[in-house]
Structure formats: structure tokens, C-alpha cells
Amino acid sequence: MTLSSASRYPRLGRRGTSQFRRPDGVIGVEYNMSRVRGKDSNLFSELSNANLKEECESCRNIVTCNVCGSSISGFEHIGVRASASHESGIWHYANPCRHRNQLRSRSANVKYAGGPLWKNGYTWQNIYWGPYFTSSSSSAWVASIEKAVRDIESDKTYSGGLSQYNVGTGTVSPFITIKTAPAAKISDGQIKQILASWIASGTVPNLGSQGAYNIFLPPGVTVSLSPVEASCAFFCDYHNTISGSSGPFYTVEPYPCAKGCNQCTNNPLDTLTQGLSEEMVELKTDMNPGTGWVIGNLELCDYCDAKFVCNRISGGEYVNSWYDKNKKACWKGS
Ligand SMILES: [Zn+2]
Ligand SMILES: [Zn+2]
């Protein structure tokens, strides 16, 4: 963080730059405050390590990183749909070293760990990030995604079936387009910062913990969860939270990868809706990753990804299936 941005955001300056120092010492990459255009917000003061205190059954007793061997203070948990040859699930990023630890699952049973769940009337706010989405050539693309979000959320058996998990059905707000383009390479840490700034400035409504944002990215933008794991190479999409169980909660949908994220068709919209449906279901059933309904290290769709079956909801969109604990089987379209 530069001195000028610190003085523009006095709260940050007072708390010191170490609040936003990434565990590996990189500041400018993960938390580049010069990109933040919004007003000061309490959200920023909670960005540094709110997630790190969270733990799940799989990581509770782990005190050293299994990649570098250094002692760790905890893990950030991110719900990730992996691309081909990687494994979907709750990815664990050790702090402070930021290595992804692949942990052995301690449980094969579906369990609820006490965290926040989606309730009736919660709100989806779709955010299309970049001028790409304002061009007339992409209006059909946006319209198809809008239809998909509404169809997914309102499908009687796909979303409605989640009532067995005490999860409700939400509403979809009119979408918002952000006219400034994202950088070609961005990190999840930067997305947290930007989303917080959009909320603080009123660019997007403040949903608190009663809803979530779907952030859609234009072609050519790569998102990374660490210096190693980038979108398409390692994952298709994910969901996360800015500040643990209090949110704000969000999914990130990179522009569909050409390979590795669609086992059914070659159509980019089908690729997108498969990932979007999974992230929406997993956000609703496990809003703060690892604290809601999980099967060991897996969220409810991750479990079904392992025995993947192509499925569509009544609106026609391809969706990823979730584990139905009543039927002891993965959800099937009619
Ligand atoms: Zn964990
Ligand atoms: Zn490490």
C-alpha cells in the first residue's frame, strides 16, 4: 500500500499496512489498495484474517503445512469446482505460507457443522464486471445467464429440494454492470477488496449476510487463488466469503474455460451454467465454506462431480447435481 492510498483511507493507515500484508509478504499483488475506489468501510479492517480462524473437521488439529513444513495459524477455506485432473472440494490454504494443503477427508457422511445457511427470501445480486458486458454483442449472453440464475433458483426440485437441508429459496435482483474492466490477472484477495469497495460506495447493494453476489468475469481474465492455482488450469469457479460467517458471500464465475469444465457439451453457456448451478447450491448449503453441509472435505455437488451425470433443470439449463441425503443419491433432472 502506498502512502497516498493510506491517507485516502485513514482507517487503514491507522491500523497499519501489516493488516493487509499477505502472509508471504506480498502486498501489492494481493491487496493493491490503489484499485479500491470506494469509501472507507469496516469491511476492510476485517479482511486480513477473519477466515483464518475458521476450521473444519479435516483441519482442526493440523499445525504444520504439509507442503513446506512451516507452522501455521490456520487455513482459508474456499469452495472450488476444479477443472479436469484436479479435485473439487473445500480447498485449504495454509497461513501464513498460502500453500494449498490437500487434506484427507475424515468423514464420508453428510454433516452440518453449524454455519450459516441460505433462507427463504435471501437475495442473489448478479454483477457483470467490465465494459465487455455493456456491448450489444454480449446482451444475449447476459440475458441467458440472467435466465439461468432465475431458473436455477426457482426450480422446484433442484433448488426446492434443498429444503431437506433447511435451505430456502431466494430472489434475484436486477443485475449490475461494472463499467471499469478488471485486470487481466486478478487474485481472490483483490476480488474481496473490490467487492467490499463496491458495497461501501453503494455501487452494489449491501446484502449483509442475507444473500450473495455472483461475479461474472469477461473473456481474457484469469483469477488466482494463490500464486500456483489459476482459473481454467486448476479450477472452473468457486465461492467464498469476505469475512467468515458474516459474509459478504460471493461466487466467482470466470468466462467459461475452453476445456476441463464441461463434461456434457462444447457450448460455453452450458459450461457456465454447470459451474454456476454448483456454486449457487454450495454457497446456499455451505455459505462460509466448511461450516455448513459437507461430506468430509466435499460440498454437496463436489460429491456428485466424482460420479458425474449430465443433468438439466426444467428451464433447460445444464446443472451439476447435489447429494440428496433423503434418497441417498445425487439429484436427477426429470
Ligand atoms: Zn478445514
Ligand atoms: Zn506451506
* 54 pLDDT tier (thresholds 50, 70, 90): low
- pLDDT on residue 235: 98
Mean local confidence (pLDDT), 82-107: 92
Closest CA to 211 of 246, 186, 185: 246
Per-residue confidence (pLDDT) for residue 10, from 0 to 100: 30
Q: Does residue 83 register a pLDDT over 90?
A: yes
**Amino acid 157: pLDDT:** 97
Q: State mean pLDDT over 43-68.
A: 69
What span, in angstroms and rounded, lies between the C-alpha atoms of 133 and 216? 9
* Cα–ligand 1 centroid distance for 164 (angstroms): 24
When pLDDT is averaged across residues 88-110 and rounded to a whole number, the result is 91
Centre of ligand 2 to C-alpha 95, Å, is 7
Question: Is the pLDDT score of 253 beyond 60?
Answer: yes
Ligand nearest the Cα of residue 79 is 1
Which of 128-137, 163-172, 305-314, 320-329 has the weakest average pLDDT? 305-314
pLDDT in tens, 113-152: 999 999 999 999 999 999 999 999 999 999 999 999 999 9
Instruction: Say which residue, 2 or 171, is predicted with more confidence.
Output: 171
In the predicted model, is pLDDT for residue 32 greater than 50?
no
Q: Give me the pLDDT at residue 167, please.
A: 98
Residue 7: pLDDT above 50? no
In the reported structure, the alpha carbon of residue 70 is separated from the centroid of ligand 2 by a whole-number distance in angstroms of 6
**Structural domain boundaries in the chain:** 1-334
Q: Between 296 and 32, whose confidence is greater?
A: 296
What's the pLDDT band for 160 if we cut at 50, 70, 90? very high
Q: Give ∠ CA 108-110-116 in degrees, rounded to 5.
A: 135
pLDDT at 45 over 50: no
| The 3-state secondary structure of the chain, one letter per residue | CCHHHHHHCHHHHHHCHHHHCCCCCCCCCCCCHHHCCCCCCHHHHCCCCHHHHCCCCCCCCCCECCCCCCECCEEEEEEEEECCCCCCEEEEEEECCCCEECCCCCCCCEEECCCCCCCCCCEEEEEEECHHHHCHHHHHHHHHHHHHHHHHHHCCCCCHHHHHHCCCCCEECCCEEECCCCCCEEEHHHHHHHHHHHHHHCCCCCCCCCEEEEEECCCCCEEECCCCCEECCCEEEEEEECCHHHCCEEEEECCCCCCCCCCCCCCHHHHHHHHHHHHHHHHHHCCCCCCCEEECCECHHHHHHCCCCCEECCCCCEECCCEECCCCEECCCC
For residue 80, the CA-to-ligand 2 centroid distance in Å is 19
Predicted confidence band of residue 26 (pLDDT cuts 50, 70, 90):
very low
User: Which residues lie near ion ligand 2 (Cβ < 5 Å)?
Assistant: 65, 67-68, 94, 97, 99
Q: What is the mean pLDDT of the chain?
A: 86
99 CA distance to ligand 2 centroid (A)? Answer: 5
pLDDT interval class at 277 (50, 70, 90): very high
- Ligand at minimal distance from the CA of 298 is 1
Tell me the pTM.
0.84
For the residues 68-88, what does the mean pLDDT come to? 95
- Say how many Å lie between the CA of residue 67 and the centre of ligand 2: 5
Whole-number Å distance, alpha carbon 198 to ligand 2 midpoint, is 32
**Residue 222 grid coordinates:** 484469469
Higher pLDDT, 305 or 123: 123
- Considering every ligand atom shown, identify the ligand nearest to the alpha carbon of residue 228 and give its number: 2
How many angstroms does the Cα of residue 165 sit away from the middle of ligand 1? Answer: 21
pLDDT band at 334 (very low <50, low <70, confident <90, very high): low
Nearest ligand to residue 226 Cα: 2
Ligand number with the minimum distance to the CA of 70: 2
User: Ligand nearest 95 Cα, by number?
Assistant: 2
Contacts for 147 with CB less than 8 Å, ≥ 6 apart: 315, 317
Provide long-range contacts, Cβ within 8 A and 24+ apart, for 140-148.
141/269, 142/175, 144/269, 145/216, 145/269, 145/272, 145/273, 145/276, 146/172, 146/175, 147/315, 147/317, 148/269, 148/272, 148/273, 148/276, 148/277, 148/315, 148/317
